[in-house]
Chains A and B, each alone.
Chain A
Amino acid sequence: MSRNGAPPDAREQEAELIRQVRAGRRESFRPLVERHWPRIKGLARRILRGPDLVEDICQETFLRAFEKLASFDNTREFAPWLAKIAVNLIGEHFRKGGQRLQLVPLDERVFPRAVPEPGEEVIGRMLLDDCLERLPVAYRIIFVLRHGLMFSYEEIAQVLDEPLGTVKVSLFRAREILKVFWAAVPTELAREGVK
């Protein structure tokens, strides 16, 4: 219940559910899964390929969260804590394939010839999706955390275990590069009268 007797808000509901799970009521974990599944799946499916793998990571995230719930600081936000578990699992998946999640410096070469030239049958948003797909994994995660899950910069830094400054600079630079490609196509298509 809330402190002043008003209907409990979402965060207090969540804290109460977590307390109940810790006290042994496993079924109280169900509303937490229902509430956070879309965000975890939204993150996973933009990073991983294949619905089975995405589903596995989602399930594993919640299982691990359940196991580690005792270590969760109930005064903090649950969503970034959960996202960090998901990101760690995604990182483990890529490490198995010899890749590491790192915010490496980006430049325009991240989009080599694979990006279609303006004038081909491409419209702006498809190109943006395409560009996001080509970003290194850590950048894709950062974009989804910021623009999809609406995490603050501080929360993203916490999820990725990176300094706040690195997160800000990386996101700024990546956006600038993406924006160049995003801005170019629609205008060119409009000039050519492409519908």
Chain B
Amino acid sequence: MKERTCHERLDFQAYVDQQLSGPEQTAVERHVRECPACARELERTRLFFTDLQVACAVGRGDLPTPAEIDGVMARLARSHPVPDSAATATAPWAAWMTGWGFEGWRAATVGAALGLLLLMVWAVRSPGPLPRPATPPAVSTPAPADLFAFTLSAPPSQALGVVGKPGAKMATRGHLQSGTVYQLPSVGKLYVTFKGENRLELSKQARFEVAGTRVRLHTGDVWCRLQRTGRDIVVETPTGTVTPLGTRFYVEATPRATRVTLEEGQVILRTRTTTVSLKRPGTLFMLTDGTITTEFETRDVAVQIPNSHLPDPRTLERPPQADSLQDGY
């Protein structure tokens, strides 16, 4: 399908892949504003990259199970037992004892006696309980079962942002805090688990927050695969809410509409005027005027270009092929 008639040689791949310098980027943007053929080509390239990213993305099937992690650690323990030298390495106190002429069992006895003496002195002087041993710095906090835990899949230069705190840079893993509005980076996906077994994937630069069991999706999209324990999750968008009843579904929020694609199970869509139960796989749109419809022609594309420049709407409207993430075998 060679539609391009413009003879300008622009590297759209490099543009979309963010490999161009500032002036080169500006040149591309200036040209596509004037040239419908190149604007279409740029949009196609952008869609192609999106599809490539989905086709290659780290998917929910790649998340490790505790058994897999334990398997690695068990193999490590077998193949690399703690060396004896580590246990019997000469500690500074042992060297000090040797210096005083105490070795072997004598050193141990003297050490124990000194330790006991110090403990008694401390107990007499201190009315409080015994101090807890200092814990090593926590690298990952244990996950309470009812929190949303997340893992960001993005280039090292990208981070999950907090709206209203421009400098804030979140770690790639952690837990979502209730009431904080998060912003996904321009490239990357956020994998979220709820109660351990319910999976959500946020992408398209999603801006969202969690509140209790509610996920407020301001913009962007979220793909949900819920088990029985995840049925209390409700996805809210600017145009309505989606309540699952044990299910697999996809929600995309844009300023003008919310698209809900059901793959399995059942969801209830609710706007300020309408409530619809979607019981079969399919797509519905919740619009800003409260209507719920099967037809919606989106104009919310990544680059604002004149409508006449857009490629075939079906190309833009293609629903996500979430199953393509499921297995690579």
Binding site for B on A (CB under 8 A): 1, 7, 9-11, 13, 16-17, 20, 24, 26-31, 33-35, 37-39, 41-42, 45-46, 49-51, 54-55, 58-59, 62-63, 66-67, 77, 79, 123-126, 128-129, 132, 143-144, 146-153, 172, 175-176, 178-179, 182-184, 186-187, 189-190
**What residues of chain A lie closer than 8 Å to B140, measured between beta carbons?**
31, 34
- Verify if B118 is at the interface (C-beta below 8 Å from A): no
**Cα distance, A174 to B11, chains bound together (Å):** 15
CB closest residue in chain A, given B87: A24
**What residues of chain B lie closer than 8 Å to A150, measured between beta carbons?**
153-155, 158, 187-188
Chain B 135-159 interface residues, beta-carbon cutoff 8 Å to A? 136-137, 139-140, 151, 153-156, 158
**With A59-B71, A125-B55, A152-B155 in contact, do A182 and B324 touch (Cβ < 8 Å)?**
no
**What residues of chain A lie closer than 8 Å to B86, measured between beta carbons?**
24
The interface bits of chain B over 303-329 (1 if a CB of A lies within 8 angstroms of the residue's CB, else 0) are 000000000101100100100100011
**With A11-B156, A16-B137, A147-B56 in contact, do A190 and B312 touch (Cβ < 8 Å)?**
yes
Chain B contact patch, size range: 35 or more
**What residues of chain B lie closer than 8 Å to A186, measured between beta carbons?**
312, 314-315, 318
**Cα distance, A149 to B63, chains bound together (Å):** 14
- Residue of A10, A20, A29 with highest tally of chain B CB at under 10 A: A10
**With A150-B188, A175-B52, A182-B51 in contact, do A39 and B155 touch (Cβ < 8 Å)?**
no
Chain A nearest CB: distance from B94 CB in Å?
A: 17
Chain A nearest CB: distance from B51 CB in Å?
A: 6
Q: Is the CB of A33 within 8 A of B72?
A: yes
Chain B nearest CB: distance from A59 CB in Å?
A: 5
Q: Is the CB of B64 within 8 A of A41?
A: yes
Q: Is the CB of A29 within 8 A of B73?
A: yes
**Cα distance, A126 to B326, chains bound together (Å):** 12
Q: Is the CB of B153 within 8 A of A187?
A: no
- Residue of B54, B312, B329 with highest tally of chain A CB at under 10 A: B329
**Cα distance, A183 to B86, chains bound together (Å):** 61
Chain A nearest CB: distance from B245 CB in Å?
A: 25
Q: Is the CB of B55 within 8 A of A129?
A: yes
Q: Is the CB of A124 within 8 A of B318?
A: yes
**What residues of chain A lie closer than 8 Å to B290, measured between beta carbons?**
none
Chain B 45-100 interface residues, beta-carbon cutoff 8 Å to A? 45, 48-49, 51-59, 61-64, 68-69, 71-73, 75-77, 79-80, 82, 86
**With A11-B156, A51-B329, A79-B156 in contact, do A42 and B59 touch (Cβ < 8 Å)?**
yes
- Verify if B1 is at the interface (C-beta below 8 Å from A): yes
Chain A nearest CB: distance from B199 CB in Å?
A: 12
